[in-house]
């Protein structure tokens, strides 16, 4: 930027970076987070045709990350400029991008729709299989039962730890019984990243009270609509007899990521409501009979 441009945008850049009180401190004394904050603020206020952003969300607090996402969305959609966003943050990619490129050892492996790209990337990652062996995790008292495995499946019944809001998903739970059980209850709840339980699913609520002989068993629960807003969540699973205390429980048995998607064919901005956790479809209408709709006169270009 020319000196005049710098002068005109200086206050905006400093305010965006959040380092006002340190602006007279030599940059060599900045922490890595402060340095990246200031660097991103400068880059975001340039008027370049292409903006390349590499893992900027890896530093800074949640508030600054939201500012980055908002600014990139403004630049790409509001100003019509191109952003090449390099990141492992799938939620941010699904919110910002319309196309995805996957690189493998420096070579292009995939170019196409962003949701297809995310799905392909997640499936190729051994660390995010959506299939967890519970054998080595912390269990409860386990008098007559023990939880063995948990799997998460997407709308296409493929094992995955990445799901899309509003889409169906399934949880498959494997367990072992040491004796015959007639009134078995199996349940799980979805927790947010603070560990707070948001919603639960319990087998007797749906009339599922099948008898089980001693041995290994697997049950599957299909949920038709994922209510969780974009973010990271975990599942706590338990097993017990109906009306009795929990026999076995594994907290945060599996972790999964929820991504945004176009549910109703119009912008939803789910990613801007991180203080909330759940979405429930609702029907909005005008109920005030005194409200009158008036046509809006929009001047033509000649006027």
Please report the pLDDT score of residue 209 as a whole number: 76
Q: What is the pLDDT of residue 199?
A: 94
What is the model's pLDDT at position 296?
A: 53
Using an 8 Å Cβ cutoff, are 222 and 125 in contact? no
The pLDDT value given to residue 290: 67
The helix (run of H) or strand (run of E) holding residue 33 is helix 32-44
DSSP string, 70-97: HHHHIIIIIS--EEEEE-S-HHHHHHH-
User: pTM score > 0.75 for this model?
Assistant: no
Q: How far apart are CA 40 and CA 279, in angstroms?
A: 32
> Strand 246-259 relative to strand 231-241: parallel, antiparallel, unpaired?
antiparallel
Q: For 155-186, how does the pLDDT look when each residue is reduced to its tens digit (9 = 90+)?
A: 988 898 889 999 999 999 999 999 999 999 99
- Quote the pLDDT of residue 215: 96
Angle 140-145-146 (CA atoms, 0-180°, nearest 5)? 60
For position 264, what pLDDT does the model report? Answer: 75
pLDDT along the chain (303 residues), means of 10: 86 88 89 84 84 73 75 79 83 82 91 84 62 90 95 91 92 96 94 85 90 94 93 92 93 89 76 79 81 53 43
Where exactly are the structural domains of the chain?
A: 3-123, 131-263
3-123 placed in CATH 3.40.50.10190: no
* Assigned token pair, 185: 């209850």
* Phi-psi group of 76: left, alpha or beta (phi > 0 → left; psi -120 to 50 → alpha; rest → beta): alpha
Q: What does the pLDDT read at residue 65?
A: 75
CATH code for residues 131-263 = 2.70.50.60
- Looking at residue 61, what is its pLDDT? 67
């Amino acid at each position: 930027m020319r000196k005049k441009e710098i002068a005109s945008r200086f206050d905006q850049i400093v305010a965006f970076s959040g380092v006002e009180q340190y602006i007279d401190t030599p940059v060599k004394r900045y922490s890595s987070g402060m340095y990246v904050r200031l660097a991103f603020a400068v880059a975001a206020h340039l008027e370049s045709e292409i903006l390349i952003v590499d893992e900027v969300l890896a530093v800074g607090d949640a508030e600054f990350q939201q500012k980055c996402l908002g600014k990139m969305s403004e630049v790409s959609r509001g100003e019509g400029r191109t952003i090449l966003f390099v990141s492992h943050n799938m939620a941010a990619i699904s919110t910002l991008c319309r196309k995805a490129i996957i690189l493998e050892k420096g070579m292009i492996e995939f170019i196409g729709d962003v949701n297809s790209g995310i799905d392909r990337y997640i499936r190729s990652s051994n660390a995010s299989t959506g299939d967890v062996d519970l054998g080595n995790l912390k269990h409860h008292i386990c008098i007559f039962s023990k939880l063995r495995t948990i799997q998460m499946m997407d709308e296409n019944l493929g094992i995955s730890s990445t799901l899309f809001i509003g889409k169906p998903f399934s949880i498959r739970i494997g367990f072992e019984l040491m004796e015959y059980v007639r009134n078995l209850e199996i349940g799980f709840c979805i927790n947010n990243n603070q560990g707070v339980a948001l919603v639960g699913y319990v087998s007797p609520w749906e009339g599922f009270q099948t008898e089980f002989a001693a041995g290994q068993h697997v049950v599957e629960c299909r949920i038709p609509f994922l209510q969780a807003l974009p973010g990271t969540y975990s599942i706590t699973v338990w097993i017990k007899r109906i009306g009795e205390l929990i026999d076995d429980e594994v907290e945060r048995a599996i972790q999964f990521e929820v991504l945004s998607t176009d549910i109703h064919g119009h912008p939803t901005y789910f990613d801007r409501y991180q203080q909330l956790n759940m979405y429930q479809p609702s029907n909005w209408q005008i109920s005030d009979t005194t409200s009158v709709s008036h046509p809006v006169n929009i001047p033509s270009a000649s006027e």
